[in-house]
């Protein structure tokens, strides 16, 4: 897994919102003064470490952190636990969870605790 800054400075990277084949990847960028982490791929206990490190580190530095989940193809309770943990440390916003993740959030009631937003504009306003 790789955490990398977006190529376009403050603009959203072109691949955000598109499926991402291969190993999980995290793209970090700033949008409207907020740190955004776009997660790509599948997340489970074997693949969560880099995303967890990135989000937990950001939570220590920034008052608001956004995780764009548009390109998450699978997430289990490990991913959910990470979101809740980061939520306790900062103002976490979760953007555009795909159907499988949205269902996980609804089944566990996490959608009532976490700030789930339809799009990046809502998450950063």
N-to-C CA span, the chain: 30
Q: What is the DSSP secondary structure assignment for residue 10, as one 8-state letter?
A: T
Q: 11-55: per-residue pLDDT in tens?
A: 555 444 444 456 799 999 999 999 999 999 999 999 999 999 999
Average pLDDT over residues 86-114: 97
CA–CA distance, 51 with 32 (Å, rounded to integer): 21
Give me the pLDDT at residue 5, please: 64
Assessment of whether the complete model's pTM goes beyond 0.75: yes
Candidates 3.40.50.620, 3.30.750.24, 3.40.50.300, 3.30.360.10; CATH matching 32-123:
3.30.750.24
CA–CA distance, 15 with 2 (Å, rounded to integer): 14
């Amino acid at each position: 897994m790789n955490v990398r800054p977006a190529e376009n400075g403050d603009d959203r990277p072109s691949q955000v919102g598109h499926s991402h084949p291969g190993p999980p990847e995290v793209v970090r960028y700033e949008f409207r003064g907020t740190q955004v982490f776009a997660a790509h791929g599948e997340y489970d206990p074997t693949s969560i470490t880099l995303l967890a490190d990135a989000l937990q580190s950001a939570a220590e530095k920034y008052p608001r952190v956004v995780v764009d989940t548009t390109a998450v193809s699978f997430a289990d309770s490990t991913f959910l636990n990470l979101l809740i943990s980061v939520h306790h440390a900062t103002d976490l916003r979760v953007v555009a969870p795909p159907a499988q993740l949205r269902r996980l959030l609804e089944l566990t009631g996490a959608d009532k605790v976490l700030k789930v937003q339809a799009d990046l504009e809502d998450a950063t306003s």
